Amino acid sequence: MLHFDEQVASDLEFDTVRYLLAEKAFQPTAKSRAHALVPLRTRKTIVRLLQETEELRRIKTEGEVFPGLEFEEMPDEIRMLEIRDSVLSEAAFNKISRASNTVNQIVQSLEDKKNKYPRLHAVQKDIYYTKDIVNPISKVFNAQGEISDKASNALNNIREEMMGLKRKISQSFIRVMRDLQSKGMLADIREGFVNERRALAVESTYKRRVNGNVLGSSNTGTITFIEPAAVVPLNHELEILRDDEHKEMRRILKDLTKIVRSHLSLIRLYSESLIEFDWIQARAKLAIDLNAYLPGLPNKTGLHFINAFHPLLVKTNETLGITTHSQTIQLSKEGRLLVISGPNAGGKSITLKTVGLLQVMFQSGLLIPVSPASEVGFFDSILTDIGDNQSIENQLSTYSYRLGRMKHFLEVSDGKSLLLLDEFGTGSDPELGGALAEVFFEELYKRGVSGVITTHYANIKSRAAELPNAINASMLFDRDTLAPLFKLQIGQPGSSFTFEVAEMIGIHKNLIKRAKTKLDTRKVELDALMGDLQKEKGKIAKLANRQLRAEVDAQRATLEASKIQSQFAEKNTALNKATEENNKELTLGKKMTQFVTRFKPGGKNKELMDEIFKFLAVETVRKNKISKTSAEVAKRRPSHRSDEIKIGSVVKLRTGKERGEVIGVQGKNATVLFGDFKTRVKIDKLSLVK
């Protein structure tokens, strides 16, 4: 991405997201990718990364089978295979075998699912299921990863001879040890090992009386370790057999290396694919951990976050037992610059950071915690000025630093830039700083920049109200308690509640009154008016919510009434149909009785039989017409696609037009969010929109 720097990553806490992502990766390559992750500007690459992540997220959350990535990266093993006549170690073969088994499991799990998971299928398109690597390795190694006795006949014979020799050595050693113990010449520990050779623990005063090789002594010198003379030639013979074993094992590994080397190109593909799958699974695991989804992907700038959460705030609040409020935010051609105002501690900054962090995550190929009904476009650059970044080293004040950032923004920003400015214009004289901030705001607007700006400056709020593609917003507060509601309200600036907050925390009323006299009365009245408007708008929102609730309740009652009416109609139709069928049966019975009466046994019945056949043909044609009509009626019935409804689906009531998002499914019932109103509805009463 153009003009994305580590200051932006720090401002938006993207470095913390990188750390969380790296924790989800298994192998070093994916971990290093996570730590170095930056947002991209190429739409094709971003979409591929997002869709890969979404496909694996769906597999993991919908209970489908996908193997655990039990492999280790193989750079050293591949390098060794590239060297002629090199021999791989036992550990290297175990790595390659695990990688081959894992790849085979991945291929099997994605078999016949190319249409369902096209992106994951593309990652493994060059690899295929084969036992040509696993089988030769499994013939050499046992389940513990050691070279098996059956790897060759020669090795089996050597090891059998070694086992017999070890028994002889043990028997001879024990015989000598018992003899010396009976003579009281051994220390309490009786025996020990020196350089992996078994030795008798002889009291040093008796060492000259014991025949054998002295291998060493204890730290105090009171014990001498002696290899009995009876086992010396046997141990020598055992060493020769061990050397034979080592040579045979190396020969086996050399032959096996040749077999594996013939599949070097496939092993390289294994390595590349497994590293890629590790990177995808890290992103998918993070998405599940953050309750993140894939939004819509329009090919344009702008964004529409529905029920968006700041992922790090959610995790922090969960540990504290605090509820996190979602936000719905839109930046479009009609309202590309959003100016948020209102009192401190109301959520302005976190709303701005939510927009920035989610956009950075999105363009880095990470799913984001928003409703799947959201839509997120693409920006070429993300520019931020958040917090106090004064520099002691460069002797820059906060305001100087912010002016430097603004100079940079004016140089590089354009219609494909996302700009995030927190406490815009602060750090200098309110009037002078406010005037300069307004000019900056106008210049950024002219450049077609999209973004979110938080401010207390009235002139910025006023200018935003005048510009057609800028829009004011405020964070809602309870006017009576001054408690923040953490909800973004679009359409009007917010009051700073300066004097109300001061009064609430106990500042004397006389001081507040004196402060008001220092201001232009119109400004005080304007601030009070904005507060009143905010309160009134809150009341209207509650009324609208009640109205929606009433509409849903009315629709639910209508559905129940319609259901009862439908049941009566069905019963009535069934009764009429049964009566009609009975009448038809009676008519047919009378007709058949007439045929039977007219039939003359042994006589001429040709005319009667012709009449019977004609009657049967007419009845057959009539029944076929009825069946065809019923099928055509069934085809004309509208398809509501209720069976496709799941969490994240956009739906509407079959009897209404209001759209909502499914946020929960329990059996035959769905919990649907209509705006801010949540209700539970039977799935067969809903129609799938998307």
pTM: 0.70
Mean pLDDT along residues 402-407: 83
pLDDT tens-digit map of 528-564: 555 555 555 555 555 555 565 565 566 666 666 666 7
Element (H, E) at 414: none
Sort residue 575 into left (φ over 0), alpha (ψ -120 to 50) or beta: alpha
Tell me, what's the pLDDT at 650? 85
Tell me, what's the pLDDT at 430? 60
The region of weakest confidence among 125-134, 324-333, 592-601 is 592-601
Q: Which residue has the tokens 């790595």?
A: 95
Q: Is the pLDDT of residue 627 over 80?
A: no
d(CA 216, CA 195): 10
Give the other-Cβ count within 10 Å of 536's Cβ.
11
Nearest residue to 225 (alpha-carbon basis) of 252, 248, 246, 202: 202
Helix crossing, 90-109 with 232-261: angle to 10°?
A: 40
Helix, coil or strand: residue 614: helix
Mean pLDDT along residues 488-508: 68
CATH architecture of residue range(s) 640-690: Roll (2.30)
Sort residue 391 into left (φ over 0), alpha (ψ -120 to 50) or beta: beta
Q: Is the pLDDT of residue 636 over 60?
A: no
pLDDT tens-digit map of 260-290: 999 999 999 999 999 999 999 999 999 999 9
Mean pLDDT along residues 291-303: 93
Write the CATH number of the domain with boundaries 151-254: 1.10.1420
Nearest residue to 177 (alpha-carbon basis) of 215, 127, 107, 231: 231
Helix, coil or strand: residue 339: strand
- Helix ranges, 290-427 (H): 311-320, 348-363, 398-412
Mean pLDDT along residues 374-387: 90
Q: Is the pLDDT of residue 392 over 50?
A: no
CATH of 303-496, picked from 3.40.1190.20, 3.40.1080.10, 3.40.50.720, 3.40.50.300, is: 3.40.50.300
User: What DSSP line would sit under 74-112, residue for residue?
Assistant: -HHHHHHHTSTT----HHHHHHHHHHHHHHHHHHHHTTT
- Report percent pLDDT > 70 for the chain: 80
Tell me, what's the pLDDT at 522? 46
pLDDT tens-digit map of 420-430: 998 876 655 56
The region of weakest confidence among 45-59, 137-151, 427-441 is 427-441
d(CA 490, CA 111): 49
**Nearest-5° angle of CA 657, CA 662, CA 665?**
130
